[in-house]
Amino acid sequence: MNPAAPRNSNRLFLACNISLVASAIGFVVRAFLLNELGKKFNLSESQLGSIQGAGLYPQAVTMILSALVVDRIGYRRTMAFGFICHILSAILVMSANGYAALYLGTFIFALAGGIVEGVINPVTATLYPKKKTHYLNILHAGWPGGMVLGGLVVILIGSVGGENSWRWKVGLYLIPTLIYGWMMFREPFPVQERVAAGISYLEMLKECGWGGCFLICLFLGYAMDEILRVFNFSLSTPVILGIGILPTVLFATRIRNFGRPMFVFMMLIMTLLATTELGTDSWIANLMTPVLRDAGPNAGNWVLIYTSAIMFGLRFFAGPIAHRISPLGLLAVCAAIASIGLTWLAHAGSAPVMVFLAATCYGMGKSFFWPTTLGIVSEQFPKGGALTLSSVSAVGLIAVGVIGSPLLGTIQDDSLDKRLAQENPGLHSRIVETQQHKYGFTYRPLDKAKIALLTPAKQLSVEQIRGVNNQATLGKVAVLPAIMFICYLGLIAYFKSRGGYRDVQLSASPAAAGIKAFSPLERSD
């Protein structure tokens, strides 16, 4: 444990876990309510995808901003803002009456999540500098743990509260929010290892470099475009490129360094990883519901709960596994297993046993993705402090939020439009909306209000076609972890040529050697 860590570091670590549980419960409740909200407010699959995206990519914005200032304004003030946003988000979503309000409330929820992760990741890496990958995996066990807990409670609540039961379900994450707020604001925080080692702010920025800056700003441009689409505006490709290039040029005039090439490469891989894990998790309950319609109304939700339970259990064993085969070896194995699992899900049919066997494979594959990546970044680029940790997560979140999740929704709309038109053109013409254009696709989404007016037999026909279409979508996602597998093999070969994978350790500077802990209200840099 870091000698500069506070005495009650385990209590602080527990509070960090609970804050992630709060974010996970909000995430899983939103995923479980997709079908219900879509029918209640007559939302298209693309609109639902945009709401799912709004729950992810704004998190990246506050994650980056908090990483840039957290060492200066203090962890407590930063967490206080996240705590307030968590509460405000619940109020907005619970009182929503349409798409725009749902989008805004979800957007603020994501801002809170970014602030929380911008604090808890560097805090954990600092508390346990010799076992970063192990404890970051334990920290992020709070994510699937929260998903399991939230999912079970939502299913048990059922329709208690009548047609407004969804509002109470949305507010579930307020319980762990109040708990982590009470626990965390009573504890001192450690001095971040970069600060304790005397690494300057400028050196931290150089670890990310203008290469990392370009990727972040480019994806932020796509995020701005996604936000404007809610208000029926959009940005052209040259404008989005300009948003990526202009800040990068300004950054490069001060930080004349591309950054660490391996770090930039890890950021690119993270775009695939985030879509494989969070993009699929955002949709999987919705995707599997029509596939498992004969197994009960919550069968699709059980798939997400089941895979999350697998993640929760396995993440406690990441340290010994990574020690044996290296963190990169662990990621390579997981990528291969996840690709096989998604392909299996796409061809598992509607038999619950086959679906859950395939889900077991997928759940095992995705278990170590996110926290092990954070562990590698923290071990290889400790000079980057909170910035490199937050940047790699931020790029992943933006990618899945503005491209991955909405793109999955658009792919579903497009393929469902074409599949239904081919198999039942008469029915297709009765239930489609006006033509839409997105991500290069031209399609006519299905109108849920019109589907609700169909006879039960025709509604069943639509659901059967939707089930086949949803499974095919998972098969398309399987290519992403396959690409990741190849990338990890390349990194393993790179480290082997340099004598093997070894983590980089920072030693405390003489000026910082006597620091024990600090009040989060004080500056640490």
More reliable by pLDDT, 482 or 160: 482
| Rounded Cα gap, residues 446 and 45, in angstroms | 8
Residue 324 lies in a domain: yes
Average the pLDDT over 136-155 and give the result.
89
Residue 77, pLDDT above cutoff 60: yes
Who contacts 285 (Cβ-Cβ below 8 Å, separation ≥6)?
A: 31, 32, 34, 300, 301, 303, 304
Confidence (pLDDT) at 138: 93
- The alpha helices in 347-453, defined as continuous H runs, are 352-366, 369-380, 385-399, 405-423, 425-431, 448-452
Residue 422, pLDDT above cutoff 70: yes
Residue 173 lies in a domain: yes
Confidence (pLDDT) at 225: 81
The Cα angle at residue 479 between residues 477 and 483, in degrees rounded to 5: 130
Domain containing residue 192: 9-497
pLDDT tier at 298, thresholds 50, 70, 90? low
Residue 514 lies in a domain: no
Buried b / exposed e over 55-66, threshold 16 CB at 10 Å, is bbbbbbbbbbbb
Q: What is the identity of the amino acid at 155?
A: I
Angstrom CA distances, 284 to 272, 278, 412, 508, stand at: 17, 10, 12, 46
Residue 209 lies in a domain: yes
Residue 518 lies in a domain: no
Residue 58 lies in a domain: yes
More reliable by pLDDT, 343 or 280: 343
**Residue 153 contacts residue 6 (beta carbons within 8 Å):** no
Write out pLDDT tens, residues 95-122.
888 888 888 899 899 899 989 988 899 8
CATH number of the domain enclosing 431: 1.20.1250.20
Number of structural domains (the chain) is: 1
- The alpha helices in 231-351, defined as continuous H runs, are 237-254, 261-274, 280-291, 299-314, 318-325, 327-346
Write out pLDDT tens, residues 430-465.
888 888 877 778 888 888 788 888 888 888 888 778
| Rounded Cα gap, residues 360 and 345, in angstroms | 10
Of the listed ranges 37-46, 269-278, 353-362, 418-427, the one predicted with least confidence: 37-46
Residue 513 lies in a domain: no
| Rounded Cα gap, residues 92 and 51, in angstroms | 14
Residue 486 lies in a domain: yes
**Residue 384 contacts residue 207 (beta carbons within 8 Å):** yes
